[in-house]
Amino acid sequence: MVAAASSVLAGQADKPQSTAFNALPKDVRAFVDDVRQHCDYLLKEMPEQERADQTYVPEDGMSGILSVKLGGRPAIVVDNFKLCTTDVIGGNCTNAGCDLTIWLQHRDGTWRKTLTEHLQAPPVFHIDGGSGELLLLDIFPQEHHPECSEVSDKEEGSDNEFCNLRAEYREGKWAFKVFLKPIP
């Protein structure tokens, strides 16, 4: 596995990255590269007739990456679902969904993860067009998420076990509120 992973790394290094991608914080770039390398590796493991001319790594290096502001400070949103051209189980996602990760630049200039959520469906961003401030974030985690405990009227026999949460970044913390019943 080590040899295979290193050959994937070498293949990725040959691809030109955009200036915007190269300007991302080192930890964010490493995270994105790691996810995309897993997608690329899994594609190469597929039988040749199945993969045809497919690629799991998008041409746009910024695909799945969004620069916003949180509390007036720079933040980077990484939506794993969009880091590869589709959801790749074992690559950018699992069979239970995909991760959403947000890094925030702190006053000392360092970048740290401020939110990581495993979602059943792509998030919806509510961003102020003028300032770039992320005002609200609609996420769809599985119902075992701590904030979903109040929602228990899941339709009997349904495999969709998730709720709808609205997240808001206030005073340095994330606040969550259920905004709809679980989707049956």
pLDDT digits (tens, 9 = 90+) for 109-163: 999 999 999 998 889 999 999 999 999 999 988 767 788 766 554 444 444 455 7
Nearest to 119 by CA among 138, 94, 139, 136: 139
Enter the pTM of the model. 0.79
* Averaged confidence pLDDT in the chain: 81
pLDDT of residue 78: 97
Q: Decide which of 37 and 13 is more confident.
A: 37
Distance CA 90, CA 1 (A): 14
pLDDT digits (tens, 9 = 90+) for 4-34: 333 333 344 345 567 899 999 999 999 999 9
So what's the pLDDT on residue 160?
A: 46
Strands (E), the chain: 65-70, 73-79, 93-94, 97-105, 111-119, 124-127, 134-139, 164-170, 173-180
3-state helix, strand, coil in the chain (%, to 5): 25, 35, 40
Could you tell me if residue 109 is left (phi over 0), alpha (psi between -120 and 50 degrees) or otherwise beta? left
